[in-house]
Every structure is written in structure tokens, then in C-alpha cells.
Amino acid sequence: MSATRKPSELHTPGGPTVTAEAANGIPGWLVALLAVACGMTVANLYYAQPLLSDLRDVFHISTAAAGGLITLTQVGYVIGMLLLVPLGDRLEKRGLVTVLLAVTTLALVAAGLATSFPMLLVASLVSGATSVVAQILVPFAASLAPDHARGRVVGRVMSGLLTGILLSRTLSSLVSDAAGWRVVYLGSAVLMALLAVALRVALPHNAPTTTIPYTHVLRSTVRLVRTHPVLVRRGLYQAAMFGAFSAFWTTISYVLTGPHFDYSPIGVGLFALVGAAGAAVAPFAGHWADRGLTRPMTGVALAAAAVAFALAGFGGHHIVLLALAAVLLDMGVQTSLILGQHTIYQLDPDARARLNSAFIATFFIGGALGSELASVAYHLAGWTAVTALGTALPVLALLYWTSERRAPSVA
């Protein structure tokens, strides 16, 4: 596959051949399906966030231990990124996605039936690892799009992913309030089973881009990291951003359910709807990437995240300031993510799954650390300590950004 592609022919099972051409190089219905699929699968990582207070009481564990559920789920996602996503270059993607969603379904059933916190942790680790389906579908969409529209297509698919992250909290809160926390996991298991069938039927056949053995695929991923410094740089930017993002959303439920606000789980979920407004920036971020504005807009995104946490620090007793902080933070994180993916997908068109694997694994390590450090910080010194941590992360990334050379390979 070359960097400059001719319009692709998409073969759907049981249907006619669709010629992908013109503006996006991929049918609009398929972009929409990929966006929904990304949102539904990545939501599995975040259903527990508004439930931490309830899970803490149900299993009689500490606040820090409850926060460890989010951390372990993200660790599972990192494991999946490193060991499973590279298979997207080695295997036919439709079959790989089907198998991963089947395992996710079983893991979510186990989580919903968990009789102890360790059982819930193990089930969450497995579901986190196999929910990397989203990160197989994103480079798949990028490979179908022509060069001039790749940023816009990735932006639209990624808007579904961020919307899934943010709406997962609201959905989780509403379902748990109405039917209990177990139904959150069991309901998601049903959704994953339905999604597996839908993607199996609708996804076009996509041949592997390499035939090298699996162990060589893993080694080649490491080699890509060594070969492309920009991959490491973009991964570190996003690790700082996602660490801040995770710090905010892991601990905000404690703030909102605390004595000052005294929100119910439903109230926490409705607050998360505010953050969903950040998904609106995704198409704009893709447009900025296509116009070659990656470097300046990355700086803006990093600065926006730092400002968001400054607002959150002042807004510990003011819900409007907290809401503004949530929107600004989510917009910054989404912008940085899309700009980063657009950049790395240009490095090697035949290794997009492996590039995405290294990129996402890097920043999810940041997210896992952000969740864990924020839980500890909140336990030791409250919301002020969390906002200090959240401000420091994008500021450090912004300082690193100032060292970036104005080179075409980076911008």
C-alpha cells in the first residue's frame, strides 16, 4: 500500500462493491458505523468511574483501592495495545475484531456477576485489553481515506470515540441508579455481542499489510519507536494530556458526591454530559491537521488543558467553573489526540496499526498513572492536590513542545 492511494474498492459481504472516492474516500455510513463502534468499545474503560463511591461501599474498600479499578482497566488497555493491536497489520481485520469483541463480551459478563472485588479487577483487566478494537478501527479508517481527507475522516471517527468516553459515565450513572451497577456491565456485554455481529456483516474485507510472523511484528513495533522520534514525541504529549484527563474524571465523582455538592450517581452522570461538548472539536482538529497546523494547534491544546485545571482549582465549590474546566480539558485532549494520530499515520502507511499501538500504549500508560496518582492525591490532600497534578502535566508537555523543531515531519 502506498502513501498516495487511488480510490479503494470496499467489498461488503453479501452486497455490491462500493467505490470509495471523492471527498472522504470512504462511504459516510461506514464512517458513522466506525465512530459508533469506537465509542461503544472504549466506553467499557470508563463505566466504573461514576460508580467508584458505590463500589467502594459495596466491596468495603478504600477510596484509593476503588480508584485502582480504573487504573487496572487502563493497564489492560495498554497490554492490548502492545500485544493485540499490532495484529491489525498481520491479520484480516474483520475476523480479528469479531474475536476480540467476543472475548470482551465474556469478560463483561464476568464483571457483572463478580462476587468479590478481585474478581471484578480481573474481569476489568481482560475487558480493557480486548476493548482495543477501537484502535484497530481508527487506523483502518485512515487507510481507506485519501491523503487530503485523512484528518477529517480520523477526526469524525475519533469524535465517536471521545463521545463514547464521556457518555459512558452518564449511561453508567443512569443505569446503575435504575437497576444497579451489575446491569451496567451486563448491558454492555449485550451491546458488544450485537456490535460484533454488525461489524462482521458491514466491514469490508481488508487484507493484511504484512506477512511477517507475530513475534517479528512485535519487534518491528519496537523498531518503529526507535526509527521515528516524532512517534515518541507525540506519545509523550498525549501521555501528559491523558494523564490529566484521567486525573480529572477519576476523582471528580468524589468531589460531586461529597458534602459540598452531594450529587447522586445520576447527578455525576449528567455532569459528564457537559464534558461531551468537547467532542465537537474533533472535525475542526482534523481540518487543522489537513491544513498543516499541527504544531501551533498542539501548543494551543496543551495550554488549554493547563488553563482548564486552573479553572477547576478555583471551581472546587462552583459547579459552573468545574463544567467549563471539563469542556476545555476535553477539547484540548481531543485536539491533541487527533493531531497526533494524523501525524503518525503519515510515517509508514503499511504499519499504521503498529504505529497506533505504540502511540496509544504510550499515552494510556500516562492515563493509568494519572488515575492512580490522582486517587492517592485526593486521598491525601483533596481536590487541591488533584488540580495541582492536573496542571503540572500539560505544563510539562508544553515546555517539551517548545523544543520541537519546525520540521515537516513533525508538523
> ∠ CA 191-197-144 to the nearest 5 degrees?
105
d(CA 316, CA 395): 21
CA-based nearest residue to 364, from 93, 135, 25, 94: 135
| Residue 36 near residue 340, CB atoms below 8 Å | no
User: What one-letter code names the amino acid at 406?
Assistant: R
pLDDT at 85 over 60: yes
**And the C-alpha cell for 211?**
506477512
Q: What is the pLDDT of residues 158-167, one digit of tens each?
A: 778 777 877 8
Q: What is the pLDDT of residues 43-63, one digit of tens each?
A: 998 888 778 878 888 888 887
Mean pLDDT of the chain, nearest integer = 84
d(CA 243, CA 367): 4
Residue 240 CB: number of other CB atoms within 10 A? 26
For 281-312, letters b (16+ CB in 10 Å) and e give bbbbbbebbbeeebbebbbebbbbbbbbbbbb
pLDDT class of 214 with cuts at 50, 70, 90: confident
For 208-228, letters b (16+ CB in 10 Å) and e give bbbeeeeeebbebbeebbeeb
Please count the residues of the chain. 411
For position 302, what pLDDT does the model report? Answer: 96
Q: Is 2 exposed, middle or buried (0-12, 13-18, 19+ CB in 10 A)?
A: exposed
Q: Are strands 9-11 and 17-19 parallel, antiparallel or unpaired?
A: antiparallel
Q: Which residue has the cell 496518582?
A: 373
For 148-172, letters b (16+ CB in 10 Å) and e give ebbbbbbbbbbbbbbbbbbbbbbbb
Host H or E run for residue 19: strand 17-19
d(CA 338, CA 281): 10
d(CA 323, CA 318): 9
For position 182, what pLDDT does the model report? Answer: 93
Report, as an integer, the average pLDDT of 270-293: 80
| Residue 350 near residue 89, CB atoms below 8 Å | yes
Q: What is the pLDDT of residues 101-133, one digit of tens each?
A: 999 999 999 999 998 999 999 999 999 999 999
24-38, 159-173, 181-195, 312-326: range with highest mean pLDDT: 181-195
d(CA 175, CA 180): 7
> Higher pLDDT residue, 283 or 171?
171
For position 25, what pLDDT does the model report? Answer: 62
For position 408, what pLDDT does the model report? Answer: 46
DSSP line for 166-179: HHHHHHHHHHHHHH
In the chain, where the domains are located: 16-401
pLDDT at 8 over 70: no
> Higher pLDDT residue, 155 or 391?
391
User: DSSP secondary-structure letter at 205?
Assistant: P
pLDDT class of 251 with cuts at 50, 70, 90: confident
CATH architecture of the domain formed by 16-401: Up-down Bundle (1.20)
| Cα dihedral value 295, 338, 74, 374, nearest 10 | 50
Looking at 145-228, list the stretches that DSSP marks H as alpha helix, in order from N- to C-terminal side: 150-179, 181-202, 214-227
d(CA 224, CA 115): 43
| Residue 301 near residue 166, CB atoms below 8 Å | no
d(CA 56, CA 406): 48
Strands (DSSP E) found in 20-176: none
Beta bridge mates, 10: 18
